[in-house]
Homo-oligomer: A and B are copies of this chain.
Amino acid sequence: MAKRKRITAQMVADRAGVSRSAVSRAFTKGSYLEESKRRRILGIAAEIGYQPNALAAGLQGGRSRLVAVIEGDIRNAHDTTLISRLCSALNANGFWPILVSGTPINGYTEALAFPLDALIVRGGSMSKDLVHRCAKLGIPMICYGRPTEELNIDSVHCKNQAGMQLATELLVSKGRQKFGFLGGPDQFYSSMKRRKGVLNALENAGLDLQAEAASDFSVDGGFTAAKTLLTGNGHIDALVCANDAMAIGALGAARALGIAIPDALSVVGFDDADMADWQITKLTTVRNPLETTVQEVLNLLVDRINNPDRECRTIRVEPQLVIRGTH
């Protein structure tokens, strides 16, 4: 073997005694071709294992069905899950996701070597250069996790502020009065908005934020930060966390300190990640719905491809309170 010889349409044509065009037509539905001939061609193709070369087809002017998914540096397990689902959805809709991860070399513009049908990127991984080049080349760009109206780019993101406000209001309604907030890295858009949600709810209730700490969206980070927060001077009876991982760390810290949950302390998170629903966790949280987000991204993408000149759109996904056992 070794010779890596690709099976071409010409071979099928020779074998079937037809022209190469006929073979192409046999695979293109909506083309004129005598039914018996089409069946014979498809039969021979299956027999010798012929498949139209997607590269050549993509070159041929039309759509390539290739979509770059810029993963960037992933921190959050929830993000990894989202990407995985997104790729599945792309597959199911006949697209081929090319995953671009790791640290950016040229702001991820290397991926533009392919004639992409679209490019999907997380808000945090967008570079000016990438945006500029995509616009110039006319490649649709879909962003998730952050609004991008000002850049004239389609985007999908969860209503972070409203969601966290909902969760905080729940705790207020339970009679909690001394609130702490466990945030993520400063530059994270989502963490900033979620914090705002907490402050809004507290202001509406005439309460103040008693304590605050920032960590890195990880379980361990949450554990350490919560431990400090809970052993600090001011007493706290409610801890709102900017994501589920940190909330779970906080639960561990409370347990280590002998603080009863939810009797002495309410803890809520954000995302409704897998681990929030574990029986050993049962974290009260806010659902940041993956399926909806994925579906909306796909809708935007398909819609944009069919109608390249339409106005850009920003989809705000509705968060949802998930009542479990830690509030």
CA distance A139 to B3 in the complex (A): 10
Q: Which of A126-184 contact B (CB under 8 A)?
A: 133, 135-139
Contact B113 A87 (CB under 8 A): no
Give how many copies assemble into the complex: 2
Chain B min CB distance to A201 (Å):
28
Per-residue interface assignment for chain A, residues 50 to 87, with 1 indicating a CB less than 8 Å from any chain B CB and 0 otherwise = 01111110110000100001010010010011011001
Segment with Cβ contacts to B, from A91-99, A185-193, A228-236, A312-320: A91-99
CA distance A295 to B326 in the complex (A): 42
CA distance A294 to B120 in the complex (A): 25
Chain B min CB distance to A14 (Å):
18
Residue A49 contacts which of B3, B91, B133, B224 (CB distance < 8 angstroms)?
B133
Interface size, A (range): 35 or more
The 7 A-B pairs of least Cβ separation, nearest first, read: A252-B280, A4-B138, A54-B113, A88-B102, A88-B101, A87-B99, A2-B308
CB-defined A-B contacts under 8 Å, sample of 27? A1-B135, A1-B138, A2-B138, A2-B309, A5-B137, A6-B137, A49-B133, A51-B110, A53-B59, A54-B113, A54-B114, A55-B115, A88-B102, A96-B111, A96-B114, A97-B98, A97-B99, A99-B99, A219-B278, A220-B278, A223-B279, A224-B279, A249-B279, A251-B280, A252-B278, A252-B280, A255-B280
Beyond A77-B77, A87-B101, 12 extra complex contacts between A and B, CB < 8 Å: A2-B308, A49-B136, A49-B137, A51-B112, A55-B59, A55-B64, A74-B84, A88-B101, A220-B279, A252-B280, A255-B280, A275-B275
